[in-house]
Amino acid sequence: MKRVAGRWTKWGAIGATLLMGTALTGCGAALGLGSAGAPAKVTPVAKVTKATTTGAKVGPSKSGQSATNKSTSSSTSSNASSSNTGGQATGNNQATGDGQATGSSQTTGNNSTTGNGQATGNNSTTTTVSYPTLSVGSTGSAVLALNERLAELHYLPVVIANGAQPSITVSDISTPPTASFTWQYQNTPSSLAAEFAPNTYTALTEGAVIAFEHQNGLTVDGIAGPQVWSTLLGSSAKTDAYPVSYILVQKSHPETLQLWDAGHWVLTSDANTGVQGATTVDGTFPVYLRYRSQTMTGTNPNGTHYSDPGVPYVNYFNGGDAVHGFVRASYGFPQSDGCVELPPATAAKVWTMVHYGTLVTVEGKYS
């Protein structure tokens, strides 16, 4: 799937909607499959009318997440100032979406001393700090610096070769130390390994940023902006608490889902993907939103409506497409409205090994 600028901005409106429990469609009964239904894609906000969603969200209660397929631009800004007697300090940080960001801080001191003679001093210094805003498709030395720091904190399935730990600071984001990477696991799946490039912001880097944001209490949007950088480079940045996991969905006959965790293929199960008119898009995407249980409502490809309460173990990875549990008479062929369905008991096992930022690859063609 081709990535476009602003992909993450679509989370804003629906992410807030998820938290408020109103106006969200889910992943429900597919065409011609009976009343039981199968959870399907979340539709764009503009098309949402009376659908409702309930569920226990797993993650920080912050807006900024959603599940829709429309791409928009966004911007955020924050300003802070402080003053002290005997001097004055001011700070101003501003971040803007769509690939632009600036951050600045300024400190000015003015001191005056008078004795038998008279001496006055006026010292002024200005320090400016600029943080780049990076997202999928970004390239260059700043991305290399980002990947080096993420690897150091174990958010990537690669490590710095020879045990070196490059010191990434504000001053060397544009000129990071030279480093080479090796894989944590010798049997890293080729489809996962293909997603890493040291100087390119790929889906793998995006997933690592999502994991970092979630575990460090930041708004989850998959973009490395000033807030991510300042936390990432700070002394209190948390290391990844989970081993590397990866999901491979193959739309072959039968359709299957495989789970790779901590260097081993640990689970293979028959699965269902989307029917004609609501096919599950090929590509690699990071999990960005999770629900232990969710009521999903929406419209099938034939125009009928559905409402499926209590859909378990929901892991959104591409817009409204999610890996989740759903009861079917059988599995292994297209039955959903775009999601990847598993037997509920299997979905429960997957849930324990999948986390924010886990990559999901969908590939193949059912025949």
Q: Is the pLDDT of residue 81 over 50?
A: no
Q: For residue range 333-360, what is the model confidence (pLDDT) as tens digits?
A: 999 999 999 999 999 999 999 999 999 9
SS (H, E, C) 314-344: EEEEECCEEEEECCCCCCCCCCEEECEEECH
Q: What is the structure's pLDDT at 50?
A: 28
Q: Are residues 191 and 152 in the same domain?
A: yes
pLDDT of residue 298: 86
Q: Which of 232, 253, 272 finishes a domain?
A: 232
Return the percentage of the chain with pLDDT > 90, whole number.
58
* Domain identity same for 220 and 264: no
Give how far Cα 28 sits from Cα of 24, 115, 199, Å. Answer: 12, 82, 40
* Whether residues 270 and 300 fall in one domain: yes
The answer to the question of residue 265 being in a domain is: yes
Residue 167's pLDDT is what? 78
Residue 93 has pLDDT above 70, yes or no: no
Which CATH number covers residue 329?
A: 2.40.440.10
Residue 119 is assigned to a structural domain of this protein = no
What integer is the mean pLDDT of 217-234? 97
pTM higher than the cut 0.75: no
Residue 13 pLDDT exceeds 70: no
- Number of residues in the chain: 367
- In this prediction, residue 161 carries a pLDDT of 85
Residue 92 domain flag: no
Check whether residue 359 and residue 272 sit in a common domain. yes
Q: Is the pLDDT of residue 172 over 60?
A: yes
- What integer pLDDT is reported at residue 62 of this predicted model? 37
Residues 227 and 249 occupy one common structural domain? no
Same domain, 221 and 265: no
CA atoms of 102 and 195, how far apart (whole Å): 28
Chain-wide mean pLDDT for the chain?
76
Domain extent at residue 59: 7-30+39-72+243-363
Does residue 117 form part of some domain? no
Answer yes or no: do 247 and 226 share one domain. no
Most confident listed range (62-76, 159-173, 255-269): 255-269
Judge whether residue 158 has pLDDT over 80: yes
Task: Specify if 133 maps to a domain.
Answer: no
CB of 27 closer than 8 Å to CB of 336: yes
Q: What is the pLDDT of residue 297?
A: 87
The residue among 175, 204, 232 that closes a domain is 232
* Same-domain status, 146 and 214: yes
pLDDT at 6 over 70: no
Evaluate if residue 94 carries a pLDDT over 50: no
Last residue of a domain, one of 193, 211, 232: 232
**pLDDT higher than threshold 70 for residue 244:** yes
Give 170's pLDDT tier (boundaries 50, 70, 90). Answer: confident
Token pair belonging to 41: 């894609």
Provide the pLDDT confidence category of residue 366 given band limits of 50, 70 and 90: confident
Tell whether 324 and 250 lie within a shared domain. yes
Q: How many domains is the chain built from? A: 2
State the pLDDT confidence band at 29, using cuts at 50, 70 and 90. Answer: low
Q: What is the percent of the chain with per-residue pLDDT over 70, rounded to a whole number? A: 64
**Distances, alpha carbon 139 to alpha carbons 97, 146, 168, 212, 233, in Å:** 16, 11, 17, 20, 20
232 has a pLDDT exceeding 50: yes
Q: How crowded is residue 217: how many other Cβ atoms within 10 Å of its Cβ? A: 11
Q: What pLDDT sits at residue 162?
A: 78
Both 249 and 349 in a single domain?
A: yes
78 or 281: which leads in pLDDT: 281
265 in the same domain as 178: no
Q: Give tens-digit pLDDT for 278-287.
A: 999 999 999 9
**Assigned domain for 345 exists:** yes
* pLDDT reported for residue 97: 38
Burial 231-268 (b: 16+ CB within 10 A, else e): bbeeeeeeebebebbbbbbbbeeebbbbbbbeeeeebe
Does residue 127 lie in a domain region? Answer: no
Q: What is the dihedral of CA 253, 255, 261, 267, to 10 degrees?
A: -80
Within this chain, do residues 247 and 228 fall inside the same structural domain, yes or no?
Answer: no
CA 9 to chain centre: 11
Q: What integer is the mean pLDDT of 208-217?
A: 98
User: Could you tell me if 337 and 27 are in contact, meaning their C-beta atoms sit under 8 angstroms apart?
Assistant: yes
pLDDT tens, 34-76?
Answer: 333 333 333 332 222 223 344 545 544 333 343 433 333 333 3
